[in-house]
Amino acid sequence: MSESACTSIGLLLFPALTQLDLTGPYEVFARAPDTKVHLIWKNLDLVVSDRGMAIQPTTTFNACPALDVICIPGGPGQINLMEDEEVLSFIRTQSQQAKLVTSVCTGSLVLGAAGLLNGYKATTHWASLDQLALLGAEPINERVVRDRNRITGAGVTSGIDFALSVVSDIFGPDIAQNIQLHMEYDPAPPFNCGSPRTASEEQLKKAQQQAASFIEKRRQATLKAAARL
């Protein structure tokens, strides 16, 4: 572990992230024993998510300790991160000693832009899954994917599943199961349409059409990032 007996977990906090990509895993990690969770950004100013929630960073890139786990959430703001060398350099530096290098949703594209997924299996939100291949990763259509010390979660709500998997990896399944029980994480969604596998053809087509212009914008950012690798 880093610096002390306490496990150090860092979540990147950035403008226009999807807050549940961060707050879902945070809720799990903050319940783990002897664990310090850091919310990291360039400064300590409030960071506003894509839906308007303001979140307070707890540390900066310069002040952040060595991390045992680094996690990159996703969201629309991920596009700008893919060419932000200050962010990418921080992720690369922390990943050199971190035991686990992880992401949720399109945070995996940021890991890819940093050159950290080349030759690794990984996942991301279903609408952008194919873009991982542009960054040298092998896209896997699963909720949580592990390849060596890389653990990636799929879209948004998978962050809870992802974080429980990370806690199980570090502390063992008994502690992870205890956290799951305390959180009453017992999903029973009102509709069986939460992924392309279960949504109707009409629902999927509508969702794809709604996201098409933004997904193309993301693809162009991914192509630019791939060209820099």
Which is it for strands 150-153 and 100-104: parallel, antiparallel or unpaired?
A: parallel
Is residue 72 within 8 Å of residue 12, measured between CB atoms? yes
What residue spans define the domains of the chain? 7-228
How far, in Å, are 80, 110, 114, 184 from residue 84 at the CA level?
7, 10, 10, 38
- pLDDT value at residue 1: 41
Confidence of residue 220 (pLDDT cuts 50, 70, 90): very high
For the chain, give the mean pLDDT: 97
Cβ-based neighbour number of residue 100 at 10 Å: 19
Mean pLDDT over 192-196 rounds to: 97
**Domain 7-228, what fold?**
Rossmann fold (3.40.50)
What is the H or E stretch that residue 61 is in? Answer: none
46 CB-near residues (< 8 Å, 6+ apart): 54, 55, 56
Percent of the chain residues topping a pLDDT of 70 = 98
Sign of CA dihedral 53, 182, 108, 154: negative
Angle separating helix axes 173-182 and 158-171, nearest 10 degrees: 140
Mean pLDDT over 137-164 rounds to: 98
Catalytic-labelled residue, pool 64, 71, 105, 193: 105
How big, in percent rounded to 5, are the helix, strand and coil portions of the chain? 40, 15, 40
- Clarify whether 6 is annotated catalytic: no
- pLDDT value at residue 5: 80
Sign of CA dihedral 147, 151, 156, 157: positive
Is residue 117 within 8 Å of residue 82, measured between CB atoms? no
Mean pLDDT over 144-172 rounds to: 98
pTM of model > 0.95: yes
Which is it for strands 100-104 and 121-122: parallel, antiparallel or unpaired?
A: unpaired
